Structure 1
C-alpha cells in the first residue's frame, strides 16, 4: 500500500455534477480529492482487507447472538429497555440487513485493525461505489494509469443483487431520510437507483413526513401503507423519539433492522474483544467502567457508545489528552479502546472504509484528514490495484 501523486483531471468537477455527485465539495473545501491515490497489490486486497472484513462480519453476527440474548448487556449498551424484546425478535426473524462499513487502520504492514463498525446509515457510499470507479476508468482511458489497473469495488453490483433478493416480498420500497441534507439525499437517490435496477418501484419521503396509522403501519404522504422502508436515519435516534414506540409493533419491514442496534454502537467493540480475545484484527476494548480497562494504561481512545463522524472521541497518550473532537454525544457512556493510530501518508491520516453488502465484503473507500480522527469533513481519495 502506498500513496501515489496523480494528475488531477481538469474537468473532474463537471464530471461529478453530471453523475449526481453534488457533494464533491463541502463547506467550501474539496471533499473529493484526486491529487493522489492509494495503490494496493492484489494480495493486500484479497488477504489483508477482503478476507478479514468477511471474518469480522461473521464475528459481528456472533456478537448479535450474544448481545440480543443478554438484557443486562443491552442495557449497558444503552439500548432502551422497551426495545430489548423487539431487538431479540428482529434477530430471530433474521430481518434483512443491507449494508455497513468497517473503519480499518491499515498501512500494508501487519493486520488491519478494526476501529469501529458503521452498521447503520453509513454514507460515502456513492463515491465509493460509483465515482471512484468512474475515476479509474477515466484515468485509464487518458493513459494516466495502466490498462491493467483494477479496483476493489463490487459495491454497486452487490447492492443491486441484494435488493433484488428481497424483491419477491413486496413491490414498493420507500426511502426516507432528512432530505434537506445534501449528503443524505445523494445516498438515498443512489440507493433508489439501485433498487429501481433491482426491479422495485420506489418512493422518496422525508423522514419527518412518515406517518403511522392505528395499526402501527408506517404511511407516506398519500396515506399508503409503507410495506418496505429503507431509512437513512439512526436507529438510536428513532428509539428515543415518540415515533419510535411504533417500531416494535409495526408490520412495516425496515432496513436497517432493529437488531442492528447491537452493532451500531461502540459497545460492540468490548463485546467482540470478550468473545474473540487476541484476534489479529481486533484491538483490546472495554466499557469505561470495567476495571479491566486499566489494562490499557495511559494510551487509549475514548469513544462514546453512540456517536458519529468522530464526535466526542478523545485520543489519550502518556495519560494526557493528545487530541479530541467536540460534539453532542457521550451521555449514554463510553468505551475505551487500545490506541492504534491511523497510518500517516505525508501530512494526512488515512482510514480505510471496508464495505459490507448483505454480509459480504464488497469494496473499499479511503478518507483522509489532517488530524488523526476522521470527521464528516475528511476528504475522500480513490484507490487502485496494480500487481499481484
Structure 2
C-alpha cells in the first residue's frame, strides 16, 4: 500500500509558524538514519514511494507549561476516545467507519466488554498538531499497537543519543 499523503520535504514538516514558536533545533539529516531505524525494527520509516514517515532533521523543545497543556489534553482525549468506543461498541456501521473490519467486530466487542473502561488500554501514543498556544489537535491515536513501542521509545531514544547526546530522554515507554 502506498501513502495517501504526498510529502514535500520543503513544506513538511512546516518550518515556519508552527515550529518557530518552539525554537526548533534543526539537525543535518544523516545518511545512515534509515540503517539504524531498520536495526531497531522500524523498517517502515519510508513508504514504498520513497516518502519519509520519520524525519531525521528536526527536534522541538517545549516549555513546562506546554508539556502540562499536552498532558492535560492527552488525558482528556484518551477518555473521550474510550467513551466513543463505549457508545458505538454494538454498532457495526460505526465501528467499521472507525476502520475495524467486519471480521474483527466480534473480537473487538469481546475484548472491550471483558474490561472496565479504566482498563481498556495498556499504553498509547497520540499524534497531535500543536503550535504551542492553542489546544492540540488530534491527528491519530495509536493504542496497544506494537509499532507504538518502537516509534515512541526505541527510535526516539536512539535518535536523541545520536543527534543531541547531551539531552535527556523523557519517555515513560522506554523505561
Interval of TM-score (by shorter of Structure 1 and Structure 2)? 0.5 to 0.7
Question: Could you tell me how far 1:137 is from its partner in structure 2?
Answer: 1.9
Residue aligning to 1:35 = 57
| Offset from partner CA, 1:138-194 (integer Å, 9 cap, x none) | 2333xxxxx3x334422233xxxxxxxxxxxxxxxxxxxxxxxxxxxxxxxxxxxxx
CA distance in 2, matches of 1:135, 1:120: 23
Task: Name the one with the larger helix percent.
Answer: 2
| Alpha-carbon spacing, 1:11–1:151, altered in 2? closer, same or farther (3 Å) | same
Any conservation in 1 of the 2:142–2:148 contact (CA below 8 Å)?
Answer: no
Bigger relative contact order (CA 8 A; separation at least 6): 1
CA distance in 1, matches of 2:44, 2:84: 35
> Which stretch of structure 1 is more off in the superposition, 107-116 or 21-30?
21-30
Scaled by the length of structure 1, what TM-score is found?
A: 0.31
Q: 2:73 aligns with which of 49, 52, 68?
A: 52
CA distance in 2, matches of 1:16, 1:78: 33
Residue aligning to 1:111 = 135
Any conservation in 2 of the 1:3–1:37 contact (CA below 8 Å)?
Answer: yes
Any conservation in 2 of the 1:100–1:118 contact (CA below 8 Å)?
Answer: yes
Question: Could you tell me how far 1:96 is from its partner in structure 2?
Answer: 5.6
Residue aligning to 1:156 = 174
Any conservation in 2 of the 1:6–1:36 contact (CA below 8 Å)?
Answer: yes
CA distance in 1, matches of 2:157, 2:120: 27
Correspondence list, 1:65-76, <5 A: 65-68=86-89, 71=90, 74-76=91-93
Question: Could you tell me how far 1:98 is from its partner in structure 2?
Answer: 3.5
What root-mean-square deviation, in Å, do the aligned CA atoms of Structure 1 and Structure 2 show?
Answer: 3.6
CA distance in 2, matches of 1:10, 1:58: 40
Any conservation in 2 of the 1:100–1:122 contact (CA below 8 Å)?
Answer: no
| Alpha-carbon spacing, 1:14–1:75, altered in 2? closer, same or farther (3 Å) | closer
| Alpha-carbon spacing, 1:151–1:40, altered in 2? closer, same or farther (3 Å) | farther
Q: 1:128 aligns with which of 152, 156, 159?
A: 152
Any conservation in 2 of the 1:5–1:37 contact (CA below 8 Å)?
Answer: yes
CA distance in 1, matches of 2:34, 2:140: 31
1:139 aligns to 2:163 (yes or no)? yes
